[in-house]
Amino acid sequence: MSVITVNAVEAALRDIVDPYIKQDLFLLKGIKNVQLADGNVQLDIQLGYPCDGLRQTLTEKITSAVLAVPGANNVDLNLSWSVQANATANTDNLSGVKHIIPVASGKGGVGKSTVAVNLALALAREGAAVGMLDADIYGPSQHIMLGLGSAQPQVVEQKLFQPLQAHGIKAISMGSLVSANTPMVWRGPMASGALQQLTKQTLWGELDFLIIDMPPGTGDIQLTLSQSVPSTGAVIVTTPQDIALLDAKKGIEMFRKVGVPVLGVVENMAFHVCTACGHRDLVFGQGGGHRIAQEYQTTLLGSLPLDSTIREDVDGGNPTVVANPASTISDIYRDIARYLGAMIWKLQLANRKSGPEIVISND
């Protein structure tokens, strides 16, 4: 009878590749504990991004791989994940936020806000603690998309906002502070000041991710936010259309100039599937998101369809991830959310490897 060894188990786990980072669990240092007793294998494995939707698939793969090792009779697997924090802002109200992620586009009309809210909700469905900041001071929309109606945040100590709760995430928007028909007739510095108040005077508490729905363009508000809070990295939303791609490039260049890495690109309205015949129509062109991701050496996080239900869901205050959690579209959003989390983990792993190496000698 074969006697199982730790080395044999670790060798089997080298064949389990993370589907997003494309490295095995051993290289990713995801194996936290291996204990053996009479053919029983106890494993503690931890990933660095929220992945509740991946848990069953990974559990089955890991269990099957270990049971194939001679001498393994049973596997007791504890598969978990933990989001490690980056440096946080020098303010108490952001000190509990592990990652700040602006979602931006170079132009309006590409569905950035819809992607942002569904991404935030997808991260929450994957198990993360998430906040949503609507940074579009002139044209806020997240209060509508999240179904907050006329609800207003409570004010604490006459200067701090208690964020509103919607679908399991925290949210703040200028749309919750003014009436629906009140225009923000402000110059750039005033809008930038208001954004800083919403960002730093909101009691966010402990969050894994704060998603920021940026206004379109590359102006005052984008620069203010990029320079005043330590963003982990940005997500760029575009359509495959050439004109949209030109503006998306400007957005990427803006983040590069202020030292914010671009974690990936989301290609929205990439195709339309006819409900009558199933034909896939490339309304805005093909492959634009992939091309821009390649050009700027970043990642295409996912491609979303042009589908009327996505619009109907956000108009009704129940974004697709909430309204239709078992739909193909929700699956795409959750896949994008896991991919985003994995890219952050990959960036952290790379930064650790690039740190100084201490050598001890007797010289």
CATH number at residue 66: 3.30.300.130
Co-location of 182 and 309 in the same domain:
yes
The pLDDT, as a whole number, for residue 267 is 93
Co-location of 15 and 138 in the same domain:
no
Q: Rounded to 5 degrees, what are φ and ψ at 288?
A: -65, -40
| Helices (H) then strands (E): counts for the chain | 11, 14
The pLDDT, as a whole number, for residue 287 is 75
Distance, in Å, from the CA atom of 177 to the CA atom of 143, rounded to the nearest integer, reads: 10
Distance, in Å, from the CA atom of 229 to the CA atom of 248, rounded to the nearest integer, reads: 22
Co-location of 169 and 316 in the same domain:
yes
149 near 173, Cβ under 8 Å?
no
Co-location of 19 and 142 in the same domain:
no
Q: How many C-alpha atoms does 219 have within 13 Å on its Cβ side?
A: 15
Co-location of 61 and 100 in the same domain:
no
The pLDDT, as a whole number, for residue 138 is 82
Q: Rounded to 5 degrees, what are φ and ψ at 107?
A: -140, 165
pTM score, whole prediction: 0.91
Q: How many CB atoms lie within 10 A of CB 93?
A: 16
Co-location of 65 and 207 in the same domain:
no
Co-location of 257 and 163 in the same domain:
yes
Q: Report the Cα 175 to chain-centroid distance in Å.
A: 23
Domain assignment of residue 272, yes or no = yes
CA distances from 274 to 254, 257, 279, 304, 306 (A): 37, 41, 5, 15, 10
Co-location of 187 and 314 in the same domain:
yes
The pLDDT, as a whole number, for residue 362 is 43
Q: Rounded to 5 degrees, what are φ and ψ at 174?
A: -60, -25
**Can you give the length of the chain in residues?**
363
Co-location of 203 and 72 in the same domain:
no
pLDDT tens, the chain, 363 aa long? 578 889 999 999 998 999 999 999 888 989 999 999 988 999 999 999 999 999 999 999 999 999 999 999 999 999 999 999 986 656 678 989 999 999 998 777 889 999 999 999 999 999 999 999 998 888 889 999 999 988 999 999 888 999 999 999 999 998 888 766 666 666 667 777 878 888 889 999 999 999 999 988 777 777 778 778 889 999 999 988 877 888 888 889 888 888 899 999 999 988 777 777 877 777 666 777 888 888 888 999 999 999 999 999 999 999 999 999 999 999 999 999 999 999 999 999 888 765 444 444 344
The count of domains in the chain is 2
The pLDDT, as a whole number, for residue 332 is 96
DSSP H helices, 68-107, are: none
Structural domain span for residue 75: 6-81
Co-location of 261 and 299 in the same domain:
yes
Asked which of 25, 47, 81 is the last residue of a domain, the reply is 81
Co-location of 14 and 52 in the same domain:
yes
Give residue 306's identity as a one-letter amino acid code. Answer: L
Domain assignment of residue 300, yes or no = yes
The pLDDT, as a whole number, for residue 109 is 82
Helix 220-228 / helix 242-257 crossing angle, nearest 10 deg: 40
Co-location of 50 and 132 in the same domain:
no
- Left, alpha or beta for 38 (phi > 0: left; psi -120 to 50: alpha)? left
Domain assignment of residue 361, yes or no = no
Distance, in Å, from the CA atom of 260 to the CA atom of 220, rounded to the nearest integer, reads: 16
